[in-house]
Amino acid sequence: MLQVSNKKKTLAIDHNALDQQCINTIRFLSVDAVEKANSGHPGLPLDAAPMAYVLWTKHLKHNPKNPKWFNRDRFVLSAGHGSMLLYSLLHLTGYDLSIEQIEQFRQWKSKTPGHPEKNITPGVETTTGPLGQGFGNGVGMAIAQAYLAARYNKPDFKIIDNYIYGLVSDGDLMEGVASEAASLAGHLKLGKLIYLYDDNHITLSASTQLTFTEDCAKRFEAYGWHTISVNDGNDTKALDKAIQEAKKETEKPSLILVRTHIGYGSPHKQDTFEAHGSPLGEEEVKLTKENLDWPTEPAFYVPQGATEHFRKAIELGKKEEEEWNTMFANYSKKYSDLASDLNRLINSELPANWDSEIPTFQADTRGMATRVACSKVMQSISKHLPEFIGGSADLNSSTHTALKDMGVFENPSMKKGDTQGAEKGDWGYNGRNLFFGVREHAMGAISNGLAAYGGIRPYCSTFLIFSDYMRPAIRLAAIMGLNVIYIFTHDSIALGEDGTTHQPVEQLISLRAIPELTLIRPADASETAEALRIAITTKNKPVALALTRQDVPTIDRNRFAKADNLKYGAYILEDVANAELVLIASGSEVHLIIETSELLKKDNVRVRLVSMPSWELFEEQSAEYRNQVLPSSIELRIAVEAGSPIGWECYVGAKGEVIGIKKFGSSAPAKVMMQEYGFTAKNIYDRATTILKKQKS
């Protein structure tokens, strides 16, 4: 019988002694690691250890010796600040995470960073820490699960058969992104999604009484979720029963609301925000250990019995994976095409013919918007790539990102309806068009989950201006190296009449500021095709495309350099012997520099034209190549881009100029906007003439 002596007494529960020992092992490994690092969050592991223990030892299907086994259950610690809870579980159940790594919590180059990071710690499915993101990631994983199951399972073979579990906190549920994602998950009836809510009534600096008093069960029921309440977070039997019930509910995602007490067992800090994010302190650690009948010495104590119990996961996981491998082998015999296709997806490989139907675009002075060209290319590749699924935040008719005839990812009880993109094809979990609704932030977080699950190449789309609504998720995709493709259209003030609020100015540079994200702003239909080729073939990195709303000419590639030079990030579009001036541009402004060069040629100015669709791709090239395109010997350079000029200085040099935008846009037709903001061949010509004169004088 465990009796906790503290100011707010919690219920005394009869625990099985081994369970109790294991739970306390999780608790005190976490507490000791935080103490040693002198930094971290002990409160959550102390309160959530019982639910995590029940989930990980009685339900979670995983193979600690092969964290990448495809049919494993996924576990998302959305409350990433509780990272030590996850590291304790990974260490104890036998992942490649030694006790030394636990002792190195939060230290330079350890495998136990402050918040969980995919690719650093084996078994961490997604990088969390920014609250709410993990919640959205789990929804994405559940969509990926449902899609792949619908596509590859057969009545006699449940090849894709796993759950997505998550641990979410007050902070997670307060964040808007979680509400967006929860609303969609409920609508989609994602029955394989099960979240445990650590309902401890305390956040970082206060009690939730000040900020978060709604009835969460009712809120989630209204979203279409199945909810279960567990009144005592230490009641392992009730927790087990709740998870069992949640697994039985196949048509709704489940939220298990578990009433816990932050910093459980700490005589002076339980139920206070002081337990949230600072070490308990030496004396309080001692008192807490005594209070929970735990030896005060040594630190990082793991009883032999607990190790043996947790490590059963290794044998069990091995057996489960072997059984699955046998099933897969039989599946391969009966459904060889499906099996090899799925294998290809799991290994992130492309089929040989994936790009065989990408159109070639002929020179055309009227041309087409790059968003339209992108749509054409997407249609041409989508039939070869079942892993290519995605959608927009209610902007299909503007971004043109629907995959024609590829169906709609919907809960199977939905009747076909009006989609504005009028996609034919199946409606159900095998549909390939995702309708995110007007939920950009969740779209970003869900796309990360789709990519993190594996087997999927997700794309998502909205206007470039609303990339701001997705930024936290884009940043995490970049940190994780996830293959998400962002299709941002209406990429400049040239979108016209929608006006100031819709016209991006600082968005291109703010995306370029995100490390490990490749941004491509193609100039015409041909460059757009190449940009998509890069997006699909890029491994372990997100790629964003910035596309025009307005038509742009399709460049004559017999006269100008070939569009496949886009892969170098910047390339010489047209050259002349002994060039004295370089005009550089991206996207729609490339056509302006072409026009300008005609004017300058009449004055016998020797102009080199450079198309620069991607800074990041250019920076990947050798110094030699970069110097060949933008040689230091040509000091007069003008860069033109209908966006913030910030950053272009390094490409134009001290004597160069940037024609960009330093203020917000305005509401007017596209042509007027471009004219008023100086994006005319005449203005570029005048600026060029001025700097040429200055140099000669």
Nearest residue to 351 via CA among 482, 537, 483: 537
Least Å distance, CB 182 to ligand TPP, is 15
Using rule CB under 6 A, residue 276 touches ligand TPP: yes
Residue 301 tokens read as 């104590």
Q: Among the candidate windows 59-67, 164-172, 234-242, 389-397, which touches ligand TPP by CB under 6 A? A: 164-172
Q: Where are the alpha helices (H) located in 513-645, listed in sequence order? A: 525-537, 589-602, 615-619, 623-629
Least Å distance, CB 437 to ligand TPP, is 21
Q: Among the candidate windows 90-98, 124-132, 242-250, 546-554, which touches ligand TPP by CB under 6 A? A: 124-132
b/e for 416-437, b at 16 or more Cβ within 10 A?
eeebebebebbbbbbbbbbbbb
Using rule CB under 6 A, residue 31 touches ligand TPP: no
* Residue closer to ligand TPP (CB basis): 197 or 463: 197
The rounded distance, in Å, linking the Cα atoms of 58 and 77 is: 18
* Residue closer to ligand TPP (CB basis): 19 or 175: 175
Give catalytic residue positions: 440
HSE value, Cβ hemisphere, 13 Å, CA-based, for 173: 28
Using rule CB under 6 A, residue 652 touches ligand TPP: no
SS3 category, 609: strand
* Residue closer to ligand TPP (CB basis): 200 or 461: 200
* Residue closer to ligand TPP (CB basis): 46 or 566: 46
* Residue closer to ligand TPP (CB basis): 144 or 257: 257
Q: Give the number of residues in contact with ligand TPP, rule: CB under 6 A.
A: 20
Using rule CB under 6 A, residue 131 touches ligand TPP: yes
Rg for the chain, CA atoms, rounded: 28
Q: Among the candidate windows 125-133, 432-440, 536-544, 601-609, which touches ligand TPP by CB under 6 A? A: 125-133
- The torsion of the CA quartet 172, 175, 178, 184, rounded to 10 degrees, works out to 160
Nearest residue to 193 via CA among 249, 147, 155: 249
* Residue closer to ligand TPP (CB basis): 81 or 400: 81
Single residue of 43, 166, 431, 660 touching ligand TPP by CB under 6 A: 43
The rounded distance, in Å, linking the Cα atoms of 333 and 323 is: 16
Using rule CB under 6 A, residue 106 touches ligand TPP: no
Using rule CB under 6 A, residue 146 touches ligand TPP: no
| Footprint (CB under 6 A) of ligand TPP, residues 176-205 | 198, 200, 202-204
Task: Report which residue's Cβ sits closest to ligand TPP.
Answer: 171
Least Å distance, CB 478 to ligand TPP, is 17
Using rule CB under 6 A, residue 44 touches ligand TPP: yes
- CB count within 10 Å of CB 694 equals 10
Least Å distance, CB 480 to ligand TPP, is 16
Number of residues that make up the chain: 697
Angle at which helices 83-93 and 304-334 cross, to 10°:
80
**CB-count exposure of residue 606 (10 Å: 0-12, 13-18, 19+):** middle
Least Å distance, CB 262 to ligand TPP, is 5
DSSP at 56:
I
Least Å distance, CB 194 to ligand TPP, is 19
> CA 346 → CA 122, 452, 575, distances in Å?
18, 11, 45
Type of residue found at 98? S
> CA 335 → CA 156, 169, 338, 352, distances in Å?
11, 43, 6, 20
Using rule CB under 6 A, residue 246 touches ligand TPP: no
Single residue of 79, 102, 470, 684 touching ligand TPP by CB under 6 A: 79
How many angstroms separate the first and last alpha carbons of the chain?
93
Q: Which residue has the tokens 């005048």?
A: 686
The rounded distance, in Å, linking the Cα atoms of 585 and 570 is: 9
Using rule CB under 6 A, residue 171 touches ligand TPP: yes
Least Å distance, CB 296 to ligand TPP, is 24
* Residue closer to ligand TPP (CB basis): 35 or 641: 35
The rounded distance, in Å, linking the Cα atoms of 625 and 570 is: 10
**Residues contacting 155, CB < 8 A, separation 6+:** none
Q: Among the candidate windows 38-46, 52-60, 66-74, 578-586, which touches ligand TPP by CB under 6 A? A: 38-46
The per-residue DSSP string of 439-476 comes to -HHHHHHHHHHHHHHSS-EEEEEEEGGGGGGGHHHHHH
Q: Among the candidate windows 141-149, 163-171, 300-308, 657-665, which touches ligand TPP by CB under 6 A? A: 163-171
Single residue of 125, 170, 271, 589 touching ligand TPP by CB under 6 A: 170
Using rule CB under 6 A, residue 262 touches ligand TPP: yes
The rounded distance, in Å, linking the Cα atoms of 96 and 41 is: 23
330 Cα distance to chain centroid = 34
The per-residue DSSP string of 211-239 comes to T--S-HHHHHHHTT-EEEEES-TT-HHHH
* Residue closer to ligand TPP (CB basis): 204 or 222: 204
Using rule CB under 6 A, residue 130 touches ligand TPP: yes
Least Å distance, CB 171 to ligand TPP, is 3
Single residue of 81, 289, 502, 533 touching ligand TPP by CB under 6 A: 81
Using rule CB under 6 A, residue 233 touches ligand TPP: no
User: What track of x and - describes contact with ligand TPP for positions 369 through 398 (by CB under 6 A)?
Assistant: ------------------------------
* Residue closer to ligand TPP (CB basis): 203 or 597: 203
Least Å distance, CB 297 to ligand TPP, is 27
Single residue of 40, 50, 94, 129 touching ligand TPP by CB under 6 A: 129
Nearest residue to 215 via CA among 634, 262, 136, 223: 223
Q: Among the candidate windows 61-69, 171-179, 504-512, 533-541, which touches ligand TPP by CB under 6 A? A: 171-179
Q: Where are the alpha helices (H) located in 257-409, listed in sequence order? A: 274-277, 282-291, 304-334, 336-346, 370-382, 396-399
**CB-count exposure of residue 346 (10 Å: 0-12, 13-18, 19+):** middle
Least Å distance, CB 445 to ligand TPP, is 11
Least Å distance, CB 178 to ligand TPP, is 10
* Residue closer to ligand TPP (CB basis): 43 or 191: 43
Residues that bind ligand TPP (CB under 6 A): 41, 43-44, 79, 81, 129-131, 169-172, 175, 198, 200, 202-204, 262, 276
